[in-house]
Structure 1
Amino acid sequence: MRTYELVLRQIEADLAAGRLRLGDRLPGERALASLLGVSRPSVREAIRVLEAMGVVRTGVGSGPEAGAIIVAEPASPLTATLRLHLATSHLPMGDIVQTRVLLESWAVREAAGRADPEQLAAAGQLLDAMDDPDLPRERFHLLDAEFHVALATLAGNVLVSTIMASLREAIHGYVVAAAADLPDWVATAGELRRQHRAVFAAIAGGDGDGAASLVAAHIEGFYRTARLT
């Protein structure tokens, strides 16, 4: 089990037991890491996942809005979401790819031409960040996973976006593992950027079928290339 998963399980248990409630602030990174016997980066990753799921809101600084605050009720749907997230690291790569194709192709088709402008702009900012030629490979992979979760969110279906958020770590994990063996990462990254931009342009331009076809080809193409390598 990854160390950050221990943090997620502890937070889940505290929510279920009522030790944490809506509006409560989580302990700081140092305190939580010491309490659970894990590293601060593991705590930071767990908080990031919880924020993406809408469980916590984070703020910077030292004022009343600083730190991670519980903003979701500790109800059974939350527990199910966290359990799904923890389970994804054990799923076969092929199953993840098929699920991504189904969810993302549907989501971009639905979102084309009518996505929320702010959410669409946020997805575009992720692409801009990936365009940095000096971007470390690991950071590129993280942004790549975030972009695909953002695409699923554009359709406005809460369940689809929740499932994709839960799959984020599984997606990141298999992409990192596959990319490590690619013979020319620079060329691969350039092609991934081009494909991302094409999907984004089709959504913004209202071409739902085109966006669905492009995102499916993008996901399946990388999978084929990685397996061949």
Structure 2
Amino acid sequence: MVRPQGYTPVCDELLRTVRTPVKNYELVLNRVEADLAAGRLRLGERLPGERSLAEQLGISRPSVREAVRVLEAMGVVRTATGSGPESGAVIVAEPASPLTALLRLHLATNHLPMGDIVQTRVLLESWTAREAAHHAGAGDLVAAEELLDRMDAPGLSPEEFHLLDAEFHVALSALAGNVLIAAVMSSLRTAIHGYVLAAVPNLADWDATAVGLRAEHRAIVGAIRAGAGDEAAALITAHIEGFYRAAQLR
């Protein structure tokens, strides 16, 4: 292959980066982060509507909605339903810290070993489940329970189910009150979704697995609501490791 003058090994690396597939909702996140950095979006302003963003970026409206949910979990936007002046997604903060952006940039590569992701999840999520059981009130669990209700909807594809699943685990991690751990879990979202979705073809019966995962989620939330920290930690550990074994990822 003949390379033009000035071509360096760095160019090869840049080309590999460009060719790496980017998930649709990451396009929205990148666009919003760039607009915030450039001053095109400011605190108190609203994001463009779903339809507008979808058309501008050439992606689906569900992908835009998923991106907005990620931004809300990061504390960057606040959303309100309806059609009045208070509806839509409003910028309420800059990204929580430079650490959040750096972690997302690194972890979005999806090159992390599955075993390392699972071990990290067990360490973080067992601790956050225990802490949430000791500190979270009933009202704090509403968002997590709404996600579980959405996972009960009939006809969900595995991808839709696992997007909600990843969001559920991120929401639980935020209940412990540790901003750094919440940021790490939010950064792991893409890696978690990627390896979990890749595991689906290894499952003997996805429908039966989904029923089991729903029951395990409910049990975890029930233990947190009851203030049973050790039980919640044990349940979430068994939940994460059990899926990993069932999907034959070891």
Residue equivalent to 1:51: 72
Q: Give yes or no for contact 2:130–2:233 (8 Å, CA) kept in 1.
A: yes
Label 1:52 to 1:28 Cα distance change in 2 as closer, same or farther (>3 A).
same
Deviation track 1:96-126 (CA, whole Å, cap 9, x = no partner) reads 2111111100011112243122112332343
Label 1:115 to 1:135 Cα distance change in 2 as closer, same or farther (>3 A).
farther
Label 1:173 to 1:74 Cα distance change in 2 as closer, same or farther (>3 A).
closer
Could you tell me which amino acid in structure 2 is paired with residue 137 of structure 1? Answer: S
The more displaced of 34-43 and 144-153 is 34-43
Helix, strand or coil at the partner of 2:202: coil
C-alpha distance in 1 between matches for 2:40 and 2:245: 46
Label 1:82 to 1:43 Cα distance change in 2 as closer, same or farther (>3 A).
farther
C-alpha distance in 2 between matches for 1:156 and 1:86: 24
Residue equivalent to 1:136: 156
Q: Give yes or no for contact 2:199–2:249 (8 Å, CA) kept in 1.
A: no
In the TM superposition, what is the alpha-carbon distance from 1:30 to its structure 2 partner? 3.2
C-alpha distance in 1 between matches for 2:210 and 2:55: 38
C-alpha distance in 1 between matches for 2:34 and 2:102: 11
Can you give the 5+ residue segments of structure 1 that lack an aligned partner in the other structure? none
Helix, strand or coil at the partner of 1:27: coil
C-alpha distance in 2 between matches for 1:15 and 1:216: 37
Q: Give yes or no for contact 1:24–1:70 (8 Å, CA) kept in 2.
A: yes
Matches within 5 A, 1:186-197: 186-197=207-218
Label 1:42 to 1:205 Cα distance change in 2 as closer, same or farther (>3 A).
closer
Cα RMSD (Å): 2.5
Deviation track 1:43-95 (CA, whole Å, cap 9, x = no partner) reads 333222112211112233432112222110367x1x54234234333222222
Which of 53, 67, 74 matches 2:88?
67
Label 1:27 to 1:191 Cα distance change in 2 as closer, same or farther (>3 A).
closer
TM-score by structure 2 length? 0.79
Can you give the 5+ residue segments of structure 2 that lack an aligned partner in the other structure? 1-21
Q: Does structure 1 residue 126 correspond to structure 2 residue 147?
A: yes
Residue equivalent to 1:81: 100
Q: Give yes or no for contact 2:202–2:248 (8 Å, CA) kept in 1.
A: no
Q: Give yes or no for contact 2:138–2:225 (8 Å, CA) kept in 1.
A: no
Helix, strand or coil at the partner of 1:227: coil
C-alpha distance in 1 between matches for 2:205 and 2:157: 12
